[in-house]
Each structure stands twice: as C-alpha cells, then as structure tokens.
C-alpha cells in the first residue's frame, strides 16, 4: 500500500503481500470525530505522517476525519482516510474515501493506485485494473500502476495465465512483451527499481493502441 511518507514526499514502495496472504475481510465502522479548529496544511500532513509511522490506523482515521471536517475540499484529507481504512481492512469505506479524493484531485495517481489496491483487496479485480490503468494514463512513468496491473492479473490467473498474456503480448509487439515480462517477473523477484524503470521506458515507447490491446486482453480474461 502506498503510504503518506511515500506520497509526494519520497520514493514509492509497492506492496506485494496481497499475493502471499490474499485479501482479508473488513472490520466494523468507527465513530465520528469532532470538528477541529482550522490549521495549516503542513500541520495536518506532519501529524498524519507521524500517526502512519506508528501504524496508529485508528488515530490516522480520526485525524483524517477531523482534517476533512475542517477542510472538506482537501483531497489529501480524504486520501488519509482511505489509507487508514485500507489498513483497517474496511475496504468499502476506503474505496469511498479514495473516490472522494480523486473527485477533488482527478490527476492524483497515488489516490488512483491506492483505490486500485482497495478494490483488488475487496476482490473487485476488473475495477482495480481500470483504476491502475487510469493512473498509468495520467503518468506513464508511474511504475506502481504498471506493476499492479500485472500483479492483479497474476493474482487472479496465476502463472499459466501470465504466460498466456505474454504470448498474446508477443503477437502484438515483442518489445512490449519482453518489457512487461521483466516488470512482472524480474522486478517482482529482485525489487531492483532500475529494472522497473527500464521496462516502463520501453512501455512508454509502445503505441498506445498496442498497450490498449494488451490491457483489453487482460480484462477479457479476468471477466
């Protein structure tokens, strides 16, 4: 899950634990928070990051709600709630929070990526891939979106499904197929960011229509 410490302020980190553990069930809803006094955005962000660093997800959720109560038009305030709700495995609420954040800031690839994660973890695989694809459209250099498309497909279809997709990709564009394979297999195994960046650079050179053909093939196999 992309965290606050890596959103806008530091390098990203891809979470692959879903592939190992699988999605979990949600928890009960929480109590509403009181409306706070206005304060600078930097103060909200600093406290949110402190709560996240302590893994105080209930505290982070309460803080995000207070922030949104003080400034309902703050996209980051809703992102904070989505972050906390996802960690609490309250996925429907997390999805709603990320959607609210995106409505306020449509080009936020971090919120779109995390929306995809929440959708994926609640088994809405097709919708998750659409969220990741939109993030990649907005920022073609955003590695987590590209990687999560493949991770989601692999999580649903397994290794045989991944190889079928690779064969299909080769029919469309061998260069694209090889880059996608490196991103999915080599990068997932090694965590070497240079591999991911090189693969995405190749994918950026591929004609958009060819990327769409591969993506539509993946969607058609998920159902």
Query: ∠ CA(1), CA(92), CA(43), 5° rounding?
Result: 55
Which three-class secondary structure state does DSSP give residue 110?
helix
Condensed to tens digits (0 to 9), the pLDDT of residues 147-162 reads: 999 999 999 999 899 8
What dotted CATH number matches 40-106? 1.25.40.10
Domain ranges of the chain: 40-106, 144-222
Lowest mean pLDDT among 23-27, 111-115, 146-150, 188-192: 23-27
Q: With a cut of 70, say whether residue 137 has pLDDT above it.
A: yes
Q: Which of 94, 96, 98 is nearest to 106 (CA)?
A: 98
- Work out the percent of the chain whose per-residue pLDDT is above 70: 83
Contact status, residue 4 vs residue 45, Cβ threshold 8 Å: yes
Mean pLDDT to the nearest integer, 26-34: 42
Residues 6+ positions from 47 with CB-CB distance below 8 Å:
63
CB contact burial 71-104 (16+ within 10 A = b; e otherwise): beebbbbbbbbbbbbbbbbbbebbbbbbbbbbeb
pLDDT band at 223 (very low <50, low <70, confident <90, very high): confident
SS3 19: helix
CB atoms under 10 Å from CB of 124, counted, come to 17
The confidence score (pLDDT) of residue 174 equals: 96
Contact (Cβ atoms closer than 8 angstroms) between residue 83 and residue 74: no
Predicted pLDDT at 39: 84
CA distances from 196 to 166, 178, 191 (A): 17, 12, 8
């Amino acid at each position: 899950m992309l965290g606050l410490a890596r959103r806008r302020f530091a390098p990203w980190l891809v979470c692959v634990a879903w592939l190992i553990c699988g999605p979990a069930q949600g928890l009960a809803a929480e109590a509403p928070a009181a409306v706070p006094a206005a304060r600078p955005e930097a103060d909200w962000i600093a406290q949110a990051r402190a709560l996240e660093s302590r893994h105080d997800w209930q505290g982070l959720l309460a803080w995000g709600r207070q922030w949104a109560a003080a400034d309902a038009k703050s996209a980051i305030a809703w992102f904070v709630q989505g972050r906390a709700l996802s960690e609490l495995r309250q996925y429907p609420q997390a999805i709603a929070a990320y959607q609210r954040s995106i409505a306020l800031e449509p080009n936020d690839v971090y919120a779109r990526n995390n929306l995809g994660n929440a959708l994926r973890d609640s088994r809405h695989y097709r919708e998750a891939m659409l969220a990741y694809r939109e993030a990649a459209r907005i920022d073609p250099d955003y590695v987590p979106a590209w990687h999560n498309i493949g991770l989601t497909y692999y999580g649903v279809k397994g290794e045989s499904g991944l190889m079928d997709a690779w064969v299909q990709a080769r029919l469309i564009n061998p260069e694209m197929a090889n880059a996608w394979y490196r991103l999915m297999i080599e990068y997932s195994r090694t965590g070497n960011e240079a591999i991911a960046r090189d693969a995405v650079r190749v994918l950026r050179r591929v004609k958009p229509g060819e990327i769409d053909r591969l993506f539509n093939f993946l969607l058609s196999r998920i159902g």
